[in-house]
Amino acid sequence: MLNGIYGRKQDVSIKSIEQPSHDSSDYHDLINAMVSEVETVVMGKTHQVRLALACLFANGHLLIEDLPGMGKTTLAHTLAGVLGFSFKRIQFTSDLLPADIIGAPIFDGREQRFEFQPGPVFSQLLLADEINRATPKAQSALLEAMEERQVSVDGTTHPLPVPFFVIATQNPISQTGTFPLPESQLDRFLMRIELGYPAHEAERRILQGSNPRESISELKQILGLDQLRLIQQRVESILVADPLLDYVQRLVHFSRQCSDFDFGLSPRGALALVRSARAWALIEGRDYVIPEDVQQVLPCVAEHRLRGGRGHSGHRGITLTRQLIDAVDVLE
């Protein structure tokens, strides 16, 4: 568990995982180091930070939904800094065009030909700020790139960098003039998290501290690309035992059967749940998944994929996932 035993700039033997390791505790130290590094900027949000990392390790995209000023962008910046990724940011507006995201062929006067000028999507970590402000056209350009991990312009296919990780943020209220993402596109995000207000103590520290933007530049890169790849491979090999799959299937089955849900979790949703639970188990330093892992990631994996029946409108994901967790027997 993280209980502050790691100091601010504690040096972790990063070299220990240059080879694929079968001991998850090797990763555990490294991950803890990352979490505490991020915590220096985004204070008091350990759980959300760990979820965001789990999302990254599971090779999925992340949607952060919260009010303005809650630190969405800061979190994205910090993650990019800790990971040492090339980082680009798009501020989505209603007049944003697909070409503004994926790039466009530009005429080169000297060479006398069109040359593809890559857009901001060609980066390892893309922050899509206020994604719901853009028109569906622009949104789908990004979401398509997220799914395919490549971009096709004028018949040429340009692969996106590896890793390619999208953190999108959206503002849940003041929806005037916005285009909420439809369910099908929400599905592209492995997780959706909410940051929420900071705790009393954390807020005090924020108020006492300097401008977080400045501390971002001081961040230390913890993880290299190779190591990220190793971690992602390791996530794949985390054991998911049959009793756990039974539990996941019970959850999924319940969401499909119970009339409180308009529709249940899709197989893709179930897959996302297992993938995220694996990543979470790794973060917890275990090489097998236990039901707690599933329960921890379930709200952020499932809530944007579910919709309540009986006249519920919009997303009541939290209550629904809570209901799901409470109703389905872990053991059976």
Partner 1 sequence: MENSQPIPRNSLVWLLASMFAGIAPHFSRLPLWVIAVCLLCGSWRIMVYRSRWKLPGRWIKALLVFSSFAAVLGHYGTLFGPDAGTALLILGFCFKLLETHNRKDAFTVVVLGFFVVATAFFYTQSMLSAGYLLLVCFMVTAALIGLNQTPLQTDPKRTARRAFKLLLQSIPLMLVLFVFVPRVAPLWSLDLSGSRAKTGLSDRITPGDIAELSRSPELAFRVEFEGSIPDTSKLYWRGLVLDHYDGATWSRGVSNNEQSLMDREPMVAGFNGEGIPWQASVRFQGDQYRYRVIMEPTDKRWLFALPAARSENRRVGFSRDFRLLSDTPISQPFSYSVSSDLRFSLDTSLPRWLAQRNLQLPETGNPRSRQLAERLLKQSKTASSYVTQVLTFFSEKTFSYTLRPPRLTGDRIDQFLFETRQGFCSHYAGAFVYLMRSAGIPARIVAGYQGGEINPLGGHLLVHQFDAHAWAEVWLPGQGWKRADPTAVIAPSRVEQGVEEALSEEQSFLEDSVLSPLRYRSINWLTQFRFAWDYVNFAWHRSVLGYDAKLQADFLSRLLGPVDFKKLGLIMVLLTTLVLLGLAGLLFLNRRGHSRDPLLQIYLKFCKRMAAKGIRRMPGESAGEYLQRLIKKYPDKASEMEELTDLYTQATYSSNYSSNGEGSQQATLSRMKRLLRTL
Q: Which amino acid is at 231?
A: I
Which residue, 164 or 247, is less far from partner 1 as judged by CB?
Answer: 247
CB of 308 to partner 1, least distance (A): 12
Which residue, 167 or 283, is less far from partner 1 as judged by CB?
Answer: 283
CB of 59 to partner 1, least distance (A): 23
Which residue, 77 or 286, is less far from partner 1 as judged by CB?
Answer: 286
Among 32, 1, 36, 2, which Cα is nearest to 14's? 32
Asked if 79 and 61 touch (Cβ cutoff 8 Å), the reply is no
Asked if 41 and 8 touch (Cβ cutoff 8 Å), the reply is no
CB of 201 to partner 1, least distance (A): 22
| Residue 133 per-residue DSSP state | G
CB of 328 to partner 1, least distance (A): 6
Burial of 233 (C-beta count, 10 Å sphere; 0-12/13-18/19+):
exposed
Q: Which amino acid is at 315?
A: H
Torsions phi, psi of 281, nearest 5?
-60, -40
Which residue, 145 or 244, is less far from partner 1 as judged by CB?
Answer: 244
CB of 326 to partner 1, least distance (A): 4
**116, 142, 152, 195, 299 from 155: Cα distances, Å:** 11, 18, 6, 40, 40
Among 88, 81, 33, 44, which Cα is nearest to 216's? 81
Which residue, 79 or 274, is less far from partner 1 as judged by CB?
Answer: 274
Taking the C-alpha atoms of residue 298 and residue 295, their distance in angstroms, rounded to an integer, is 5
CB of 289 to partner 1, least distance (A): 7
Where does this chain bind partner 1 (CB under 8 A)? 239, 241-244, 256-257, 259, 261-264, 287-292, 295, 309, 325-332
Beta strands 165-170 and 125-129: pairing type? parallel
Which residue, 154 or 326, is less far from partner 1 as judged by CB?
Answer: 326
Which residue, 14 or 330, is less far from partner 1 as judged by CB?
Answer: 330
Asked if 223 and 30 touch (Cβ cutoff 8 Å), the reply is yes
CB of 257 to partner 1, least distance (A): 8
